Amino acid sequence: MAKEGPESAEETEHMIERNGVKEPESAASASAADPKEMRAVLLTGFGGLNKLKVTKKPMPEPQEGEVKIRVKACGLNFLDLMVRQGNIDNPPKTPLVPGFECSGIVEAIGENTKGFEIGDRVMAFVNYNAWAEVVCTPLEWVYKIPDEMTFPEGAAFCMNFVAAYMMLFEVANLRKGMSVLVHSAGGGVGQAVAQLCSTVPNVTVFGTASTFKHEAIRHSVTHLFDRNVDYVAEVRKISPDGVDIVLDCLCGENTGKGLGLLKPLGTYILYGSSNMVTGETKSFFSFAKSWWQVEKVNPIKLYEENKVMAGFSLLNLLFKQGGCSQVKTAVQKLLSLYSEKKIRPLVDSLWALEEVKEAMQRIHDRGNIGKLILDVEKSPTPLMASDSTETSEAGEEEEEHEGDNDNKERMPFIQ
């Protein structure tokens, strides 16, 4: 991956007058105008919102086979919240810059990097480090975007639509006349699933979502249920035989329910475990409860009932399992659907980097309809301007309280 840019070999010593004595200018003041530095969101340690801050970091330069991107927008996913809490397998060491996807303009290319030119409009996957003004990432993870696609749409495209496409068409083999159950239907992946299902004739989509989202997303699914009701019974009332595909981002007790809803030759796909997130920080109780509620799967029972159980992790496929070619093929097909105006990323809201805490609280509260975007060029609202940068007298950032009513009133620009 990219190495951070070297410090200038020679530094010009700036002198200032103070009490009649000349002293060197502070490093912070000198670095403010340093063109080799950039703004970035830093996760200082695993935990609550107080572990996030915006800081200055050395600007990366592209290594061989890499593309340097001047970032315009970054995607915010529920997975980023789990990373912040350290609620993932083999979490990386902190401090780190979070984020896995972005869009922007190619600013430079490394040696032996073909297929891109300076000035190209692109979207990209990044193995962390996306929430910054500049990123460097391997060319295999970078894709040109159409002229009509906005940068927020580009940042909302990769994770959600590629995951939805590969689960539906590569894993579950979605075909005409099938039925699909998707949880969190109002989220980024849920809306991508709904749009992709609409490209196949006579597909029935069952969705679960918070009640306040129903009016906004009702048009995108066939049957919509409140996330707190007995959706198994509701689905059975409409389709007694169950469904062909279950897409589960919740885990826990929903695993057994999903498997039980499958028709013969149906496919259950687990692609997340958001039930493990209940509070602002990692909860061992929530983890243990979710694990305990997962019904023990008997392979013989799967065999007897002709059911398929699968898992899907897009980032593992891309970053650890060499799935670049499969992902690129999916991106190309998705861009064709976008050009045909059959799909379009749904952007919930735009947030400045300095508003990252409020943005993450919104996704924690399941308040978003579609994708949350960090707009690198957006100025923060006055109420949020210092939230991600101020520290207490002890040097520790002030803890934010989950469910704070003030946070509810601090609204970003919503499209």
Alpha carbons within 13 angstroms on the beta-carbon side of residue 172 total 34
| Residue 274 pLDDT grade (very low, low, confident, very high; cuts 50, 70, 90) | low
Closest CA relative to residue 272, chosen from 247, 255, 249: 249
Is there a domain that residue 332 lies in?
A: yes
Burial state string for 233-268 with b = 16 or more CB within 10 A and e = fewer than 16: ebbeeebeebbbbbbbbbbbebbbbbbebbbeebbb
Same domain for 179 and 314, yes or no, is yes
Same domain for 106 and 198, yes or no, is no
Same domain for 216 and 264, yes or no, is yes
pLDDT-wise least confident of 2-11, 128-137, 286-295, 297-306: 2-11
Same domain for 181 and 249, yes or no, is yes
What whole-number distance in Å separates Cα of residue 29 and Cα of residue 368?
38
State which H helix or E strand residue 233 sits in.
Answer: helix 231-238
- CATH number assigned to the domain comprising residue 87: 3.90.180.10
Is there a domain that residue 31 lies in?
A: no
pLDDT tens digits along 70-102: 999 999 999 999 999 988 888 899 999 999 999
In this prediction, residue 192 carries a pLDDT of 97
| Residue 325 pLDDT grade (very low, low, confident, very high; cuts 50, 70, 90) | very high
Same domain for 183 and 307, yes or no, is yes
CB 160 within 8 A of CB 104: no
CB 391 within 8 A of CB 397: yes
Is there a domain that residue 356 lies in?
A: no
Is there a domain that residue 385 lies in?
A: no
Same domain for 54 and 163, yes or no, is no
pLDDT-wise least confident of 27-36, 97-106, 262-271: 27-36
In this prediction, residue 297 carries a pLDDT of 76
CB 245 within 8 A of CB 269: yes
11 pLDDT higher than 80: no
Is there a domain that residue 412 lies in?
A: no
Same domain for 101 and 208, yes or no, is no
- CATH number assigned to the domain comprising residue 290: 3.40.50.720
Same domain for 121 and 179, yes or no, is no
CB-based contacts of 230: which residues, under 8 Å, 6+ apart? none
Closest CA relative to residue 340, chosen from 124, 148, 75, 175: 148
Domain count for the chain, please give it: 2
130 pLDDT higher than 90: yes
145 pLDDT higher than 80: yes
Beta strands in 77-171 (DSSP E): 101-109, 121-125, 134-138, 142-144
Is there a domain that residue 351 lies in?
A: no
Structural domain boundaries enclosing 99: 37-151
Same domain for 315 and 167, yes or no, is yes
In this prediction, residue 255 carries a pLDDT of 87
Same domain for 334 and 200, yes or no, is yes
Residues in the chain: 415
The rounded percent of the chain whose pLDDT value lies above 70 is 79
> Residue 337 has what DSSP assignment?
H
Same domain for 145 and 166, yes or no, is no
pLDDT-wise least confident of 42-56, 168-182, 266-280, 351-365: 266-280
Between 80 and 409, name the one with better pLDDT: 80
Is there a domain that residue 80 lies in?
A: yes
State which of 99, 119, 151 marks the end of a domain: 151
Same domain for 92 and 232, yes or no, is no
